[in-house]
């Protein structure tokens, strides 16, 4: 992958590697294929490491991941000893990450790893005034009609309250600065509100269309009812947080050096 430019004009991509974070809970039928596909589709010079967080699965998810580590030296597996949820998985992986850029995919295989390089190309250099988060937008969703309807309704309600202009905050395909994420307050379900929180803390966000695929194996860990109830509860909290957060721009002052006086040339006496 050649050097790309973020929207701010700062170069990114050249010598810049990412930590790809994938949470997984009872995904034995999806995670091995997703791991292999990620290493195949994301250029080696871009993918610094792939961290899968097993959220205390009760199937063979962790066993299958461990079986691939010898084949893929950049693969890491972190295992929760209790089931903690997707947001906790993301934080565990990001805290352990070795690189400045974080990329994320859901563990069910519905996100396409081939989209990651395109998102990274739009990202600004960490610490610059460029884009700090690029989120995917699933323009052609493969979920059931009820899930698509529920997602559209949730996005409309969330945007009406938070005004974050994010068309698909639930899409797992994202890339962002690790440092910016670690500045955010952590809470369960934070992964659904990252664009709004990045904006709250003064960071720029952009969104691009990404591929969406059918789940090959297993079942979703959410249903429309529990997602809606939890979402409303979290929405109140995030709205309060946005209103109560102040993130001023800061500049560091330096000691001004006194201006040097120009020496006058001596004038000849008359």
Q: Does some domain include residue 10?
A: yes
Helices (H), the chain: 31-41, 61-66, 86-96, 116-122, 145-162, 178-182, 194-200, 224-244
pLDDT of residue 233: 72
pLDDT of residue 14: 52
Lookup result for tokens 């989209």? 115
Contacts of 234 (CB under 8 A, 6+ apart): 187, 188, 189, 192, 193
Lowest-pLDDT range, 78-92, 220-234, 241-255?
A: 220-234
Q: Does some domain include residue 268?
A: no
Q: How many domains does the chain have?
A: 1
Contact criterion met (CB below 8 Å) for 47 and 74 = yes
Which two tokens mark 118?
A: 């395109």
The whole-model pTM stands at 0.82
pLDDT band at residue 145 using 50, 70 and 90 as cut-offs: low
pLDDT of residue 221: 63
Q: Does some domain include residue 252?
A: no
Q: Does some domain include residue 159?
A: yes
Q: What is the mean pLDDT of residues 226-244?
A: 75
Lookup result for tokens 């929760």? 80
CA 268 from chain centre, in angstroms, equals 74
pLDDT band at residue 103 using 50, 70 and 90 as cut-offs: very high
Dist. CA 79–CA 24, nearest whole Å: 10
Q: Does some domain include residue 255?
A: no
Dist. CA 254–CA 8, nearest whole Å: 26
- Give the pLDDT confidence of 47-101 residue by residue, as tens digits: 999 999 999 999 999 999 999 999 999 999 999 999 999 999 999 999 999 999 9
Q: Does some domain include residue 267?
A: no
pLDDT of residue 258: 75
Parallel/antiparallel/unpaired status of strands 101-104 and 18-24: parallel
Residue 6 scores a pLDDT above 60: no
pLDDT of residue 246: 85
Dist. CA 199–CA 67, nearest whole Å: 40
Q: Which residue range is the domain that position 38 belongs to?
A: 4-243
Q: Does some domain include residue 99?
A: yes
Q: What is the mean pLDDT of residues 103-129?
A: 96
- For residue 238, the domain's CATH number is 3.90.550.10
Q: Does some domain include residue 248?
A: no
């Amino acid at each position: 992958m050649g050097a790309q430019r973020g929207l701010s004009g700062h170069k990114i991509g050249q010598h810049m590697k990412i930590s790809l974070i994938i949470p997984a809970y009872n995904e034995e039928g999806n995670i091995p294929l997703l791991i292999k596909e990620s290493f195949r589709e994301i250029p080696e010079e871009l993918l610094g490491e792939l961290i899968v967080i097993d959220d205390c699965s009760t199937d063979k998810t962790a066993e299958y991941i461990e079986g691939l580590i010898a084949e893929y030296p950049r693969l890491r597996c972190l295992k929760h000893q209790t089931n903690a949820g997707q947001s906790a998985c993301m934080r565990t992986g990001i805290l352990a990450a070795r690189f400045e850029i974080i990329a994320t995919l859901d563990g069910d295989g519905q996100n396409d790893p081939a989209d990651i390089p395109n998102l990274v190309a739009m990202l600004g250099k960490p610490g610059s005034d460029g884009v700090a988060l690029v989120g995917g937008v699933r323009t052609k969703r493969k979920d059931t009609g009820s899930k698509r309807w529920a997602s559209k309704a949730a996005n409309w309600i969330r945007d009406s309250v938070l005004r974050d202009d994010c068309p698909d905050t639930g899409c797992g395909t994202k890339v962002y600065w690790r440092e910016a994420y670690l500045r955010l307050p952590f809470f369960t379900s934070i992964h659904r509100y990252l664009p709004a929180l990045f904006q709250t803390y003064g960071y720029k966000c952009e969104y691009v269309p990404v591929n969406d695929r059918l789940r090959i194996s297993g079942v979703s860990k959410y249903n429309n009812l529990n997602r809606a109830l939890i979402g409303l509860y979290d929405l109140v909290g995030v709205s309060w947080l946005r209103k109560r957060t102040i993130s001023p721009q800061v500049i560091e002052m330096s000691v001004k050096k006194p201006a040097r006086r120009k020496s006058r040339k001596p004038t000849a006496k008359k």
